[in-house]
Structure 1
Amino acid sequence: MPGLLARRALRSGAASSYQRGRSVGLQAGYEEGYFRGKAQGIVNRLAYAPPLRNLHVLFIGSGKGFPYSPIDEAIAATLQGMVSQLTMSNARENIAEIARTTMPDLVLVLDGMYLPPEQMDAVRAMGIRTAVWMTDDPYYTDMTVGWVLHYDYVFTLEIHCVDFYRNMGCPQVHYLPFGAYPVHYRPVVKPAAPRREIGFVGTAYPKRIQFFRPIMDRLMRHNTVINGNWWDKFPGYTQYKNKMEIGKWMGPAQTADVYNNIKIVINLHRAPDDSEINQNRMNIPAASPNPRTFEINACATLQLCDVRDDLARFYTPGVEIETYSSQEELLEKVQYYLVHEAARKQIALRALERTFREHTYAHRLNQMLSIIFP
């Protein structure tokens, strides 16, 4: 009899545990579905249609290949719906001859590193407006000084480069960071892979290794995965290699898939004073957010971003994005938001809404064309 009672108690306990587990699972599924449904609602509600301008734009891609080619694609595809005629070329072709043949209203160049400056001089001599959108300020300013003076308009994604270029003699310099391209970066209805907890996507630059080295053990106690080149240079890499995917540049689809299948994405900007990889002898500081800032937020994922002086112009810290100024603060916020799911999701949704309302390539290009053709 006692054995029968014990068996019944065990069965009853197992059934009770099953019911509790089922209830918790159903609630978690409901909350995740509600979150993703709300994210889709924001995307649908805030789809931005910029005005169509009666302009012919000749767009010159960077010619630098991957990882710049997705930016080329984002700008070209966005312009396609904004101007009456778009002609596309790249920096390896004879741009002056193409401009002479097509006579556009504007020649817009991305980056300009591989475009001979004399070609822009020839285009300007035809009375055609020219503009360049810089991709890597302030990290390669030793090089960019060689071509920015050959354009009517210079657009830079780094606020500290505005005065730098103006003091060089550039007549029209404007601050214009990149943004998110919603075709590449947007929330998905259903994640395609098991959700990770913490992720970082980016190259293992020396100062990034220096930042992560003291805390990597503690960070890896969570379900953390790092994607990017050169992480095999990280000291003790072999003990983390199953959590570090190296040796490839991830395209937008792969990167967006990572963002959509993760709870928290860490954004650690490239250091402007990293002399091993930069060409910035003037030591121009970096205050502006990188393109990844907007792309992460466009996927409705909580972003932990290192503090940058001009970040609050785009997202309100603690409301639409979270920031950290030290390794310990990063770990504290990781632990907090892994426990406080509701707070994490609210910030992610606010970030998504701000991004689709203000920070897409359509918003940026509309601003650019408004400056050039007021």
Structure 2
Amino acid sequence: MLTEQAAVHVNQVLTSADRGRADGLVAGFDEGYLRGRANVIVNRERPAFPVRQKRVLYVGSGKGFPYSPIDEAITTTLRDLTSELIVATPSDSIPQLAALHTPDLVLALDGLELPTDYIDAVRAMGIPTAIWFTDDPYYTDMTVAISPHYDYVFTLERNCLEPYRAAGSPNVHYLPFAAYTDHYRPTLIQSPIRRNLGFIGSAYWNRVHFLRPVMPALAEQGLMINGIWWDRLPEFSQYADRIELGKWMGPVETAEVYSGTKIVLNLHRSPFEEDVNHNGAGILAASPNPRTFEISACATLQLVDARDDLATFYTPGVEIETFSTADELVDKVRFYLTHEKERREIALRALDRTLRDHTYANRLNDMLTVIFG
């Protein structure tokens, strides 16, 4: 016969095993439910955008990664929205290509590698030109100078509208980037990546200073970081097992990490770090970064520092979650890691809103409407 002490021990072991089995069943159900709902949202039929009978000459950034995925998103989408697309680089003779193909529009991304005399020559042919700036307001010292050479200027930062107009650009429009769903999408089967909390991005100093006081609390919740410069963190050695230092991930791998992470942090960079920015006018940043849309497209809960224009795109507390202080960030991480249903529903609503309103097809259709009516 078992002694009383041994019986208690056996009961505790069985109880722990039963509890673990029950927790595993719940976690499996939650994961399957999330993936199933995401699959329904991804495959939902959505209205198609018109195909315009226009020929577009697109000039990519010429900068390689990380700009090349944006070039891919734009070129792939434009092929679906126009009758013909010609793709070029800043090193090509753009005036010769324009004379050869007589496009209805020459569109440039970024434009810092593209000689402005090329654009002037194209405009002299009577061909409309447009530019989509990629990094506002961080490099406006340079972009404001080239903006008047284009007929249409598109910026992803609301606060850059007036500086471009003041520089002499006649048609300036607010057009943020979006999610390219060939890259950013949820994993529709159980993800091989299992993280509670993650951040992917460079260690700009504002991020280091913001996160440093709460790193112990976030590490307790399972924080994992991928990115460059994180050895700037004075306590880096304490968190080295949680930081994959110096790794640049492509968009597909990034999306897989987002999709397999319960909560993804999004902390915007500062427009005032002089060693990496060229923003002598001190233009504030009000608009969400491209990561905002990309994370939301992966059916994961996003915790983002609240920018003024964020609510234009997602409803806080419904489709996205925000924080203003480091303590608020920690509190919300703890809440959502213990409230799976609430976390899951916000993540799914973010996915649905993104696929409905924040794809490159949405954005480029808006651009073409501005230019061609």
Give the shorter-chain TM-score range.
Answer: over 0.9
CA positional deviation for 1:207 = 1.4
* C-alpha contact (below 8 Å) 2:54/2:83 kept by paired residues: yes
Letter in 2 for 1:162: L
Q: CA–CA distance in 2 between the matches of 1:179 and 1:12?
A: 55
* Number of residue pairs aligned between Structure 1 and Structure 2: 373
Aligned: 1:69 with 2:72: no
Distance, in Å, in 2 between the alignment partners of 1:32 and 1:11 is 31
Superposed displacement of residue 194, structure 1: 3.8
Are the equivalent residues in 1 in contact too, given 2:55–2:104 (CA < 8 A)? yes
Deviates more, 1:246-255 or 1:118-127: 246-255
The one-letter code sitting in structure 1 at the alignment partner of 2:105 is L
Deviation at 1:96, TM superposition (A): 1.0
Where does residue 294 of structure 2 map in the other structure? 295
Q: Does 1:92 align with 2:72?
A: no
**In structure 2, what is the equivalent of residue 26 of structure 1?**
25
* 1:211 to partner: Cα distance: 1.1
Task: Tell me the CA shift for residue 168 of structure 1.
Answer: 1.2
Q: Which residue of 2 aligns with 1:220?
A: 219
Residue 157 of structure 1: aligned partner = 156
Give runs of aligned pairs for residues 55-134 of structure 1, distance below 5 A. Answer: 55-134=54-133
**What is the one-letter code of the residue matched to 1:320?**
E
Segments of 5+ residues of structure 2 without an aligned counterpart are none
Q: Which residue is equivalent to 2:359?
A: 360
Q: 1:136-179, CA deviations, whole angstroms, 9 ceiling, x for partnerless residues?
A: 00010001122111100000000010111111111000000000
Q: Does the 8 Å contact 2:31/2:190 carry over to 1? A: no
Deviation at residue 15 of structure 1 after TM alignment: 4.6
- Of 20-29 and 267-276, deviating more is 20-29
User: CA, structure 1 residues 341+173, in 2 after alignment: closer, same or farther (shift >3 Å)?
Assistant: same
Per-residue CA deviation, residues 89-143 of structure 1 (Å, 9 max, x unaligned), is: 1112111111111111111100100000000000011111110000000010001
> For structure 1, which segment, 40-49 or 347-356, has the greater mean C-alpha deviation from structure 2 after superposition?
40-49
Residues 273 and 12 of structure 1: CA distance in aligned 2, closer, same or farther (over 3 Å): closer
Question: Which ranges of structure 1 fall in alignment gaps of 5 or more residues?
Answer: none
CA-based RMSD: 1.6
1:19 Cα shift?
3.9
Identity, in percent, stands at 57
Q: Aligned residue for 2:280?
A: 281
Give the residue type in structure 1 aligned to 2:181. Answer: P
Amino acid at match of 2:205: P
| Aligned AA (2:348) | L
Q: Distance in 2 between matches of 1:171 and 1:46?
A: 38
CA distance in 2, matches of 1:229, 1:180: 23
Aligned-pair CA distance for 1:232: 1.6
CA distance in 1, matches of 2:262, 2:247: 23
Query: Residue 192 and residue 344 in structure 1: after superposition, are their counterparts in 2 closer, same or farther (change >3 A)?
Result: closer
Secondary structure in 2 matching 1:197:
strand
TM-score (norm 2): 0.96
Moved more, 233-242 or 312-321: 233-242
**Residue of structure 2 equivalent to 1:38:** 37
Residue 220 of structure 2: SS of its match in structure 1? coil
Q: Distance in 2 between matches of 1:174 and 1:208?
A: 30
Q: Is the 8 A contact 2:259 2:300 kept in 1?
A: yes
Q: Residues 14 and 231 of structure 1: is their aligned pair in 2 closer, same or farther, counting only changes over 3 Å?
A: closer
* Structure-2 separation of matches of 1:236 and 1:35: 36
* TM-score after normalising by structure 1: 0.96
- Using the TM superposition, give the Cα deviation of residue 307 of structure 1 relative to its aligned residue in structure 2, in angstroms: 0.9
**AA paired with 1:232?**
D
Compute the displacement of 1:18 (Å): 3.6
More divergent stretch after superposition (26-35 vs 57-66): 26-35
Deviations 1:286-307 (A, max 9, x none): 0000000000000011000001
- Say if 1:9 and 1:204 are closer, same or farther in 2 by CA, change over 3 A: closer
Mean Cα displacement is larger for which, 302-311 or 141-150? 141-150
Select between 40-49 and 204-213 the one with higher mean Cα deviation.
40-49
Q: Distance in 2 between matches of 1:63 and 1:26?
A: 50
